[in-house]
Amino acid sequence: MLKDITLGQYFPGDTVVHRLDPRTKLVLTLVYIAALFMVGSWGGYALVFAALASVAAVAHIRPRALLKGLKPLVFIIVFTAVLNLFFTGGDDILFQWRSIHVTWSGLKRAVSMVLRILLLVSGTFMLTYTTSPLAITDGLEKLLSPLKKLHVPVYELSLMMCIALRFIPTLIEETDRIMSAQKARGADLETGTLPERAKALLPLLIPLFISSFRRADELALAMECRCYNGGEGRTRMKQLRMAWQDGVAFALGAALVAGILLLRRLGI
């Protein structure tokens, strides 16, 4: 049962978007987020939406996958909408009932906030849906490498990420095994009140913890035996390389920002 948990949201594929350098995608995601906050007109939102839709189309991401990803955010979206709708002041009252009043500016603000959240989250999905966690880690390490000069252990952090990702399936398998073992001894993990079930998890977590520490110990030894001695002087087999497609992607990103600023100027 636990094996069914999918890791991250990466959908493997072989499109141009998948093949872009992870650094390009990371930087462009940041550009996209910044651009979204520069939007000052409805036309701007339309442009961002068009950009998002074309990236999704090129990367073969189905609208359904995006909607599924947005589902957990329904509460936040509704909350934001209600808050903006009812608590924005102004004279252009649209609708009033006792002390509750809705203004035109409130309605506009609510819609634009909701659009902003939807576009923001869907935009970051473009990164996580098309880039494996490992590639993201690699890209982050390269992008943050100037911080090494400030003694930030960038390589160590990315190695930690990698090892964590590597051990998730192993630990899930182990949890499954311990669960079976405890059930065989009569442990009841599925019924009872919430506090009771939380308590029943204890005999599951303790063996898992102990074995994780043992694993960590053995892994450290194995790493030392393979000449691990920190990030210094290390080389990489796979070198990240920018191609012309990355140049095109950056140009398109710049065009998006320029377009948004232009529309804002024109007030469309």
Partner 1 sequence: MDPIIRIKNISYTYPDADRPALDGVSLDIMPGTFTAVLGSNGSGKSTLAKHLNAILVPAGGKVFVDGMDTADEGNLLAIRRQVGMVFQNPDNQIVANVVEDDVAFAPENLGVEPKEIRRRVDEALKSVGMYEFRMHAPHLLSGGQKQRVAIAGVLAMDPDVLVLDEPTAMLDPRGRREVIAAVETLCRERGITVVLITHHMDEAVRADRVLVLDKGRIVLDGTPQQIFPQTAALQALRLTVPDTVALMSRLNAAGMDLPMDALTPAECAAAILEALQ
Among 93, 221, 252, 255, binds partner 1 (CB under 8 A): 221
Using an 8 Å Cβ cutoff, are 223 and 162 in contact?
no
Which residues contact residue 159 at a Cβ distance below 8 angstroms, ignoring those fewer than 6 apart? 231
Alpha helices per DSSP H over the chain: 16-19, 22-38, 42-58, 63-70, 74-86, 104-130, 133-144, 154-184, 194-200, 202-225, 244-266
Tokens representing 254 are 């710049």
Single-letter amino acid code for the residue at 230: G
Instruction: Out of 173, 176, 188, 196, name the contact with partner 1 by CB under 8 A.
Output: 173
C-alpha 33/C-alpha 231 separation (Å) is 32
Q: How far apart are CA 198 and CA 211, in angstroms?
A: 20
CB nearer partner 1, residue 64 or residue 226:
226
In the shown chain, the binding pattern of residues 81 to 120 toward partner 1, with x for contact by CB under 8 A and - for none, equals: ----------------------------------------
- Nearest distance from residue 84's CB to partner 1, in Å? 43
**Residues 107, 87 contacting (CB under 8 angstroms):** no
Q: Give yes or no for residue 236 binding partner 1 (CB under 8 A).
A: yes
191 forms part of the interface with partner 1 (CB under 8 A): no
146 touching partner 1, by CB under 8 A: no
The two tokens of residue 153 are: 């252990």
Give the nearest distance from C-beta 3 to partner 1 in angstroms: 10
Nearest to 59 by CA among 25, 29, 122, 17: 17
Collapsing DSSP to helix, strand or coil, 185 comes out as coil
Residue 144 CB, nearest approach to partner 1 (Å) = 18
162 part of the interface to partner 1, by CB under 8 A: yes
Q: CA 56 to CA 63: how far, in whole Å?
A: 8
| Complex with partner 1: residue 227 or 266, whichever CB lies closer | 227
**Position among 31, 46, 120, 165 found at the interface with partner 1 (CB under 8 A):** 165
Number of amino acids touching partner 1 (CB under 8 A): 27
The stretch near partner 1 (CB under 8 A) out of 87-95, 140-148, 184-192, 224-232 is 224-232
Comparison of 196 and 218: residue with beta carbon closer to partner 1: 218
Distance CA(181)–CA(17), nearest Å, equals 45
Question: Of residues 219, 243, 254, 255, which one binds partner 1 by CB under 8 A?
Answer: 219
Cβ 33 to partner 1, closest distance in Å? 28
Contact call for residues 132 and 25 (beta carbons, < 8 A): no
Residues that bind partner 1 (CB under 8 A): 134, 162-163, 165-166, 169-170, 173, 215, 218-219, 221-229, 233-239
